[in-house]
Amino acid sequence: MKVKVICPECQSAIEIDDAYDIATCHECQKTFQVLDLKKYTATYIAKLRRNAESYESNAYSFKEAFNVYKEILTFIPNDLDAACGMLINGIKKSSFKDTYFQEFITTFNSLDLTLDSTTYIRLGHFFEQIYTSINYFQLHLVSFLKSCNEKEKEIIYKDLMDLYYLYKLIFENVALFTSEEYHESIFVEKEIMEKSFDDLKKIILNKEVVSYDNDVNKDSVIFHLNGKDIKYSEFNIDDYNDVQDFNVFRVNTSAKNYIYIFVALILCCVLALVGAILSFTVEPKYIGYTILGISIAAFAVIYIIFVIMRKRTLASLNSYSKIK
Protein backbone atom coordinates (compact mmCIF):
# COMPACT_ATOMS: atom_id res chain seq x y z
CA MET A 1 0.00 0.00 0.00
CA LYS A 2 1.32 3.44 -0.94
CA VAL A 3 1.61 5.93 1.90
CA LYS A 4 3.04 9.44 2.12
CA VAL A 5 5.76 10.12 4.69
CA ILE A 6 8.32 12.77 5.59
CA CYS A 7 12.01 12.14 5.01
CA PRO A 8 13.89 12.83 8.30
CA GLU A 9 16.97 13.87 6.35
CA CYS A 10 15.71 16.39 3.75
CA GLN A 11 12.14 16.97 5.03
CA SER A 12 10.65 16.09 1.65
CA ALA A 13 7.19 14.52 1.43
CA ILE A 14 7.72 11.18 -0.31
CA GLU A 15 5.51 8.25 -1.24
CA ILE A 16 6.60 4.77 -0.21
CA ASP A 17 5.23 1.24 -0.28
CA ASP A 18 4.70 0.11 3.31
CA ALA A 19 4.69 -3.52 2.21
CA TYR A 20 8.49 -3.34 2.45
CA ASP A 21 10.72 -2.86 5.49
CA ILE A 22 13.15 -0.46 3.79
CA ALA A 23 12.47 2.69 1.73
CA THR A 24 14.73 5.17 -0.05
CA CYS A 25 14.04 8.88 -0.34
CA HIS A 26 14.00 9.83 -4.02
CA GLU A 27 15.19 13.34 -3.12
CA CYS A 28 18.28 12.79 -0.92
CA GLN A 29 18.75 9.07 -1.72
CA LYS A 30 18.96 8.18 1.98
CA THR A 31 17.57 4.80 3.08
CA PHE A 32 15.40 4.35 6.16
CA GLN A 33 13.38 1.72 7.98
CA VAL A 34 9.71 2.13 6.95
CA LEU A 35 8.66 1.89 10.61
CA ASP A 36 11.01 4.77 11.47
CA LEU A 37 9.60 6.85 8.62
CA LYS A 38 6.06 6.27 9.89
CA LYS A 39 7.03 7.25 13.46
CA TYR A 40 8.79 10.39 12.24
CA THR A 41 5.79 11.30 10.07
CA ALA A 42 3.38 10.78 12.99
CA THR A 43 5.48 13.21 15.05
CA TYR A 44 5.53 15.65 12.14
CA ILE A 45 1.73 15.48 11.76
CA ALA A 46 1.28 16.02 15.52
CA LYS A 47 3.41 19.15 15.17
CA LEU A 48 1.25 20.30 12.25
CA ARG A 49 -1.88 19.90 14.39
CA ARG A 50 -0.33 22.01 17.14
CA ASN A 51 0.65 24.64 14.60
CA ALA A 52 -2.90 24.72 13.18
CA GLU A 53 -4.39 25.13 16.65
CA SER A 54 -1.92 27.93 17.35
CA TYR A 55 -2.87 29.70 14.12
CA GLU A 56 -6.57 29.39 14.92
CA SER A 57 -6.04 30.98 18.33
CA ASN A 58 -4.40 34.03 16.72
CA ALA A 59 -6.66 36.64 15.12
CA TYR A 60 -6.88 36.45 11.33
CA SER A 61 -4.43 33.52 10.96
CA PHE A 62 -7.11 31.48 9.21
CA LYS A 63 -5.19 31.23 5.93
CA GLU A 64 -2.18 29.70 7.70
CA ALA A 65 -4.40 27.25 9.63
CA PHE A 66 -6.17 26.33 6.38
CA ASN A 67 -2.85 25.50 4.68
CA VAL A 68 -1.65 23.39 7.63
CA TYR A 69 -4.85 21.33 7.76
CA LYS A 70 -4.65 20.90 3.99
CA GLU A 71 -1.12 19.54 4.37
CA ILE A 72 -2.29 17.06 7.02
CA LEU A 73 -4.90 15.74 4.58
CA THR A 74 -2.15 14.93 2.06
CA PHE A 75 -0.83 12.42 4.62
CA ILE A 76 -4.14 11.25 6.09
CA PRO A 77 -6.95 11.64 3.52
CA ASN A 78 -10.40 12.16 5.06
CA ASP A 79 -8.96 12.77 8.54
CA LEU A 80 -12.07 14.16 10.22
CA ASP A 81 -10.41 16.82 12.38
CA ALA A 82 -8.14 18.04 9.57
CA ALA A 83 -10.99 18.07 7.06
CA CYS A 84 -13.28 20.04 9.37
CA GLY A 85 -10.43 22.38 10.30
CA MET A 86 -9.51 23.06 6.69
CA LEU A 87 -13.12 23.67 5.61
CA ILE A 88 -13.95 25.95 8.56
CA ASN A 89 -10.79 28.00 8.11
CA GLY A 90 -11.48 28.16 4.39
CA ILE A 91 -14.72 30.00 5.17
CA LYS A 92 -13.10 32.13 7.87
CA LYS A 93 -10.28 33.26 5.60
CA SER A 94 -12.80 34.49 3.05
CA SER A 95 -13.08 38.21 2.48
CA PHE A 96 -15.61 40.37 0.66
CA LYS A 97 -13.95 39.77 -2.72
CA ASP A 98 -11.96 36.57 -2.18
CA THR A 99 -14.30 33.85 -0.91
CA TYR A 100 -13.89 30.11 -0.44
CA PHE A 101 -17.61 29.33 -0.60
CA GLN A 102 -17.82 27.47 -3.91
CA GLU A 103 -14.60 25.58 -3.20
CA PHE A 104 -16.01 24.65 0.21
CA ILE A 105 -18.98 22.85 -1.34
CA THR A 106 -16.82 21.06 -3.92
CA THR A 107 -14.26 20.00 -1.30
CA PHE A 108 -16.90 18.93 1.22
CA ASN A 109 -18.60 16.71 -1.36
CA SER A 110 -15.26 15.11 -2.26
CA LEU A 111 -14.50 14.08 1.33
CA ASP A 112 -15.80 11.01 3.12
CA LEU A 113 -17.06 12.43 6.41
CA THR A 114 -19.07 9.60 7.93
CA LEU A 115 -21.82 10.39 10.42
CA ASP A 116 -21.91 7.70 13.09
CA SER A 117 -21.96 7.28 16.87
CA THR A 118 -18.26 8.20 17.13
CA THR A 119 -18.28 11.28 14.89
CA TYR A 120 -21.64 13.00 15.28
CA ILE A 121 -20.51 15.35 18.07
CA ARG A 122 -17.52 16.63 16.09
CA LEU A 123 -19.59 16.90 12.90
CA GLY A 124 -22.34 18.67 14.79
CA HIS A 125 -19.90 21.26 16.12
CA PHE A 126 -18.53 21.54 12.59
CA PHE A 127 -21.92 22.41 11.08
CA GLU A 128 -22.62 24.80 13.94
CA GLN A 129 -19.33 26.59 13.18
CA ILE A 130 -20.23 26.79 9.49
CA TYR A 131 -23.56 28.39 10.32
CA THR A 132 -22.02 30.84 12.80
CA SER A 133 -19.37 31.88 10.30
CA ILE A 134 -21.59 32.36 7.27
CA ASN A 135 -24.25 34.13 9.34
CA TYR A 136 -21.60 36.59 10.54
CA PHE A 137 -20.53 37.10 6.94
CA GLN A 138 -24.15 37.47 5.83
CA LEU A 139 -24.85 40.24 8.36
CA HIS A 140 -21.83 42.22 7.18
CA LEU A 141 -22.73 41.82 3.50
CA VAL A 142 -26.30 42.99 4.11
CA SER A 143 -25.12 46.03 6.08
CA PHE A 144 -22.56 46.73 3.36
CA LEU A 145 -25.33 46.89 0.75
CA LYS A 146 -26.54 50.18 2.23
CA SER A 147 -23.35 52.06 1.41
CA CYS A 148 -21.68 50.20 -1.45
CA ASN A 149 -21.38 51.23 -5.08
CA GLU A 150 -22.77 49.28 -8.04
CA LYS A 151 -19.65 47.23 -8.64
CA GLU A 152 -19.46 46.16 -5.02
CA LYS A 153 -23.17 45.34 -5.11
CA GLU A 154 -22.58 42.83 -7.90
CA ILE A 155 -19.99 41.03 -5.80
CA ILE A 156 -22.20 41.09 -2.72
CA TYR A 157 -25.11 39.41 -4.50
CA LYS A 158 -22.73 36.82 -5.88
CA ASP A 159 -21.50 36.16 -2.31
CA LEU A 160 -25.09 35.97 -1.04
CA MET A 161 -25.91 33.33 -3.65
CA ASP A 162 -22.87 31.35 -2.49
CA LEU A 163 -24.19 31.57 1.07
CA TYR A 164 -27.56 30.32 -0.18
CA TYR A 165 -25.95 27.08 -1.39
CA LEU A 166 -23.94 26.76 1.83
CA TYR A 167 -27.16 27.00 3.85
CA LYS A 168 -28.69 24.27 1.70
CA LEU A 169 -25.66 22.07 2.31
CA ILE A 170 -25.96 22.61 6.08
CA PHE A 171 -29.67 21.73 6.15
CA GLU A 172 -29.19 18.65 3.94
CA ASN A 173 -26.59 17.27 6.35
CA VAL A 174 -28.17 18.38 9.63
CA ALA A 175 -31.34 16.56 8.55
CA LEU A 176 -29.38 13.30 8.93
CA PHE A 177 -28.93 13.90 12.68
CA THR A 178 -31.38 12.38 15.10
CA SER A 179 -33.05 14.83 17.47
CA GLU A 180 -30.81 13.64 20.32
CA GLU A 181 -27.64 13.91 18.23
CA TYR A 182 -28.60 17.39 17.11
CA HIS A 183 -29.14 18.75 20.62
CA GLU A 184 -25.97 17.08 21.94
CA SER A 185 -23.70 18.55 19.27
CA ILE A 186 -25.33 21.69 17.83
CA PHE A 187 -26.18 24.56 20.16
CA VAL A 188 -28.06 26.68 17.64
CA GLU A 189 -31.75 25.90 17.31
CA LYS A 190 -32.95 24.92 13.85
CA GLU A 191 -35.51 27.71 13.99
CA ILE A 192 -32.70 30.26 14.32
CA MET A 193 -30.83 28.79 11.34
CA GLU A 194 -34.03 28.74 9.29
CA LYS A 195 -34.75 32.37 10.21
CA SER A 196 -31.30 33.42 8.96
CA PHE A 197 -31.85 31.45 5.76
CA ASP A 198 -35.27 33.04 5.23
CA ASP A 199 -33.76 36.51 5.71
CA LEU A 200 -31.16 35.68 3.08
CA LYS A 201 -33.76 34.41 0.62
CA LYS A 202 -35.83 37.58 0.97
CA ILE A 203 -32.85 39.57 -0.31
CA ILE A 204 -31.79 37.13 -3.02
CA LEU A 205 -35.27 36.55 -4.37
CA ASN A 206 -35.81 40.26 -4.98
CA LYS A 207 -37.29 40.60 -8.47
CA GLU A 208 -35.34 43.79 -9.04
CA VAL A 209 -32.07 42.01 -8.46
CA VAL A 210 -32.28 38.45 -9.69
CA SER A 211 -34.38 36.24 -11.94
CA TYR A 212 -34.62 32.60 -10.99
CA ASP A 213 -36.66 29.45 -11.34
CA ASN A 214 -38.39 27.66 -8.48
CA ASP A 215 -35.28 25.64 -7.58
CA VAL A 216 -32.92 28.61 -7.66
CA ASN A 217 -30.25 26.55 -9.41
CA LYS A 218 -26.95 28.02 -10.47
CA ASP A 219 -27.77 28.17 -14.18
CA SER A 220 -31.05 30.03 -13.70
CA VAL A 221 -29.83 32.90 -11.51
CA ILE A 222 -29.25 36.21 -13.24
CA PHE A 223 -28.36 39.48 -11.53
CA HIS A 224 -29.86 42.63 -13.03
CA LEU A 225 -27.35 45.19 -11.82
CA ASN A 226 -25.47 48.22 -13.09
CA GLY A 227 -27.41 48.23 -16.35
CA LYS A 228 -26.46 44.68 -17.32
CA ASP A 229 -27.38 41.05 -16.74
CA ILE A 230 -24.85 38.86 -14.97
CA LYS A 231 -25.33 35.10 -14.93
CA TYR A 232 -24.31 33.58 -11.59
CA SER A 233 -22.70 30.52 -13.17
CA GLU A 234 -20.56 32.77 -15.42
CA PHE A 235 -19.60 35.33 -12.78
CA ASN A 236 -15.86 36.12 -12.98
CA ILE A 237 -14.41 37.81 -9.92
CA ASP A 238 -11.30 38.79 -11.92
CA ASP A 239 -13.43 41.41 -13.67
CA TYR A 240 -13.56 43.36 -10.40
CA ASN A 241 -9.89 44.04 -9.71
CA ASP A 242 -10.43 47.76 -9.07
CA VAL A 243 -13.09 47.29 -6.40
CA GLN A 244 -10.61 47.82 -3.56
CA ASP A 245 -10.13 51.43 -4.63
CA PHE A 246 -13.89 51.90 -4.55
CA ASN A 247 -13.77 50.60 -0.98
CA VAL A 248 -11.23 53.22 -0.01
CA PHE A 249 -13.03 56.21 -1.50
CA ARG A 250 -16.71 55.22 -1.21
CA VAL A 251 -17.04 53.12 1.95
CA ASN A 252 -14.11 53.78 4.22
CA THR A 253 -15.08 56.06 7.11
CA SER A 254 -11.71 57.85 6.99
CA ALA A 255 -12.19 58.95 3.37
CA LYS A 256 -11.92 62.62 4.46
CA ASN A 257 -8.23 62.05 5.14
CA TYR A 258 -7.76 61.25 1.46
CA ILE A 259 -9.60 64.40 0.46
CA TYR A 260 -7.17 66.44 2.55
CA ILE A 261 -4.25 64.67 0.94
CA PHE A 262 -5.54 65.30 -2.58
CA VAL A 263 -6.08 68.99 -1.76
CA ALA A 264 -2.50 69.16 -0.44
CA LEU A 265 -1.16 67.51 -3.60
CA ILE A 266 -3.06 69.98 -5.77
CA LEU A 267 -1.68 72.91 -3.74
CA CYS A 268 1.83 71.52 -4.20
CA CYS A 269 1.27 71.42 -7.96
CA VAL A 270 -0.02 75.00 -7.95
CA LEU A 271 2.97 76.21 -5.90
CA ALA A 272 5.35 74.34 -8.16
CA LEU A 273 3.81 76.07 -11.16
CA VAL A 274 4.14 79.45 -9.40
CA GLY A 275 7.76 78.69 -8.54
CA ALA A 276 8.52 77.73 -12.13
CA ILE A 277 6.96 80.98 -13.40
CA LEU A 278 8.85 83.09 -10.84
CA SER A 279 12.15 81.44 -11.71
CA PHE A 280 11.76 82.74 -15.27
CA THR A 281 10.26 86.16 -14.56
CA VAL A 282 11.49 87.48 -11.21
CA GLU A 283 14.92 88.39 -9.91
CA PRO A 284 16.61 87.01 -7.93
CA LYS A 285 15.78 83.65 -9.52
CA TYR A 286 16.56 81.62 -6.40
CA ILE A 287 13.19 82.67 -4.96
CA GLY A 288 11.36 80.86 -7.76
CA TYR A 289 13.73 77.87 -7.58
CA THR A 290 13.24 77.66 -3.81
CA ILE A 291 9.44 77.63 -4.11
CA LEU A 292 9.67 75.07 -6.93
CA GLY A 293 12.01 72.81 -4.97
CA ILE A 294 10.01 72.96 -1.77
CA SER A 295 6.78 72.23 -3.68
CA ILE A 296 8.28 69.20 -5.43
CA ALA A 297 9.71 67.86 -2.15
CA ALA A 298 6.40 68.40 -0.35
CA PHE A 299 4.54 66.66 -3.18
CA ALA A 300 6.88 63.66 -2.94
CA VAL A 301 6.48 63.39 0.86
CA ILE A 302 2.69 63.74 0.76
CA TYR A 303 2.41 61.19 -2.06
CA ILE A 304 4.47 58.68 -0.07
CA ILE A 305 2.16 59.25 2.91
CA PHE A 306 -0.82 58.65 0.61
CA VAL A 307 0.63 55.34 -0.65
CA ILE A 308 1.29 54.14 2.91
CA MET A 309 -2.19 55.17 4.10
CA ARG A 310 -3.85 53.49 1.14
CA LYS A 311 -1.96 50.24 1.77
CA ARG A 312 -2.91 50.23 5.45
CA THR A 313 -6.52 51.08 4.71
CA LEU A 314 -6.88 48.25 2.21
CA ALA A 315 -5.31 45.84 4.69
CA SER A 316 -7.72 47.06 7.37
CA LEU A 317 -10.74 46.68 5.10
CA ASN A 318 -9.68 43.19 4.14
CA SER A 319 -9.26 42.20 7.79
CA TYR A 320 -12.61 43.75 8.77
CA SER A 321 -14.45 41.78 6.11
CA LYS A 322 -12.99 38.45 7.19
CA ILE A 323 -15.08 36.02 9.19
CA LYS A 324 -14.14 36.04 12.86
| Predicted local distance difference test score (pLDDT) of residue 143 | 83
**pLDDT over 50 (residue 311):** yes
Those residues with Cβ within 8 angstroms of residue 6's Cβ, 6 or more apart along the chain or in another chain: 12, 13, 14, 37, 40, 41, 44
What's the pLDDT score for residue 308?
Answer: 84
Q: Return the ∠ at Cα 86 (arms to 85 and 89), rounded to 5°.
A: 80
Has residue 12 got a pLDDT over 50? yes
Quick one: pLDDT band at residue 321, thresholds 50, 70, 90? very low
**Beta strands in the chain, from DSSP E residues, in sequence order:** 2-6, 13-17, 22-24, 31-33, 210-211, 222-225, 228-231
Cα separation, 112 vs 286, whole angstroms: 78
> pLDDT-based confidence at 157, cuts 50/70/90?
confident
Residue 83's pLDDT band, with cuts at 50, 70 and 90, is very high
Whether residue 128 has pLDDT greater than 90: yes
pLDDT in tens, 254-293: 556 767 888 888 999 999 999 888 888 878 878 888 888 9
pLDDT tens figures, 223-259: 766 667 777 777 888 777 655 555 544 444 455 676 7
- Please give the pLDDT value at position 287: 85
Confidence label for 201 from pLDDT (cuts 50, 70 and 90):
confident
